[in-house]
Amino acid sequence: MADEHWYLNKSATVADTTAALGGKYIDANSNGGFDAGETLNSLNFVVVDASGVTKKGLTFEGNANKQTFLGTSMADIFIGNGGQDLFTGNAGADQFVFQTVRTYARDDSTANGVIGYTYADTALTSNDADTITDFVSGTDKLIFRFEALKTLEDTFSALFALKGSALSDTNVYIADIAAGAINTSGTATSYIKADTTGDNIKVYYDSDGSGANLSVLIATLTNVSSVVPTDFKVDSVFNF
């Protein structure tokens, strides 16, 4: 079956998750099915369970609201795009992608009656932190993504120079971090921080490492006891 791009609109459901499916793009940030005055952010609490798919991996993309995505038994890509999403990768080498939040709104003011859509980019905040229930260190990847050219809207601008490079403990600080010390922990180049205190691992982005800027909570990893620097990757939008 050829690859397809599935758009979820305000009335959509996804029920066909048979083993024959695969290679699809499940998109809750689409521009179809909305009426004048509505925005794509009105699509909320979508649950997509693709755990029965065994032929080929899927790409899931959410919007600025809360979604729940359960992956296939193959290699999947999860793009939260804002909102406190819940991801379960299941088997396969999965990629969990974090990026600047892009939201769309319908625009009826275009010429000749053509319906258009405008978009706005906003930086990811701790209110958008996702939860990943089954991250596997050494197999899955946590990917910090930005536009191909660095812009002011890019959430992860401090990571731009690291695109495509193998990350190390120079850039990724992994430790039990004392309460209240996340912002100043690590070194000046510790842009990614993984706090291993307690039962879960909390992943942060810090634009100035151990400086005074606030760290941004990106994700909470449950049911995992450790991560390593090579579990993290920096890449651009063109590679997805």
Per-residue pLDDT tens digits for 74-118? 999 999 888 899 999 999 999 999 988 877 666 666 666 555 666
Helix (H, G, I), strand (E, B) or coil at 26: strand
Identify the residue with better confidence: 172 or 33: 172
**In sequence order, what are the beta bridge partners of 47?**
68
Give how far the C-alpha of residue 122 lies from the chain's centroid of Cα atoms, to the nearest Å.
14
pLDDT attached to residue 10 = 41
Say what percent of the chain tops pLDDT 90. Answer: 45
Which pTM value belongs to this model?
0.80
d(CA 119, CA 10): 18
Residue 20's contacts (CB-CB under 8 Å, 6 or more residues apart) are 1, 55
Res. 129: pLDDT tops 70 = yes
Question: What Cα–Cα distance (Å) separates residue 84 from each residue in 1, 20, 81, 94, 217?
Answer: 32, 30, 9, 19, 11
Mean confidence (pLDDT) of the chain: 80
